Structure 1
Amino acid sequence: MALADSARGAPGGGGGGVSKEPSSRRRRSGYITVGYRGSYTIGRDIQTDAKFRRVARITVCGKTSLAKEVFGDTLNESRDPDRPPERYTSRYYLKFTFLEQAFDRLTEAGFHMVACSSTGTCAYVSNDPGEDKIWTSYTEYVFCRD
């Protein structure tokens, strides 16, 4: 990092010691969980590749102020408008559908993944053994910033 960046208060600059930034500019610790639902089909021949559908929506759960800090104007707040900054919500979602983009933003904001969980259930089963089975899944990734 260049000396000029350090002098302007860029993240990671300053050479250690006590932070001279105002408390409102310090990065607050906390957790953000991102999740998504997906579906896929597996044909009668298990050896063939499963057919995955695109991610329709990435949900965001956590403290409102942290979610807004990380995702900015890409955070869709329409399902939980006017939520106070220190309150928690699980009703936000992102305006984009690429998990990697969400992960990049979280990493840039100093978060790291601490847990993940996924479930899968067979949503549609036919009595016809020749028909594809449709599965649904839900996956969550938990990120933390100390």
Structure 2
Amino acid sequence: MSPDLRNIPCLTLDGQHKTLGEFAGKVLLVVNTASQCGFTPQYKGLEELWQRYRGRGLMVLGFPCNQFGNQEPGDTLDIAQFCEAKFGVSFPVFRKVDVNGELAHPLFVKLKHKAPGLLGSERIKWNFTKFLVSRDGSQVKRFAPITKPAALEAAIEEMLG
């Protein structure tokens, strides 16, 4: 994984300090999530991808965000309980972050730069924007919120090799 991604600190919902270096050699699917969004049912599809491909080296990483329509208003415990009870989420979910603006989490700053959106915009437009990162971090593909997780299978297969 490239050094610019490897050392980025992240805090899990249960308070564990992690860096992306702990996922070195894995293909990462990084998603900004929300519990009260029209796209929230995508949690199910993300969990299905995680179950199907984790043995081959896929890591799904969820980052709750409240910057779009106040759709993630809950605290850490609310988010954890919602993800587990409603969708059986077992992939790593991190503490709530900003993905845009001055307080944007460094991970999303890097991902947006490596994979800009429509017309070269780096701004994330809504919840459930997805970034697929190659094992070494050299390739990043961006997918729109409307793209269902199942539609990522070909890209995941390609990056898993």
Q: State whether TM-score is above 0.5.
A: no
The structure richer in strand per residue is 1
* TM-score between both structures, scaled by the size of structure 1: 0.28
Please identify the structure whose Cα radius of gyration is greater: 1
- Tell me which protein shows more helix as a share of its residues: 2
TM-score by length of 2: 0.26
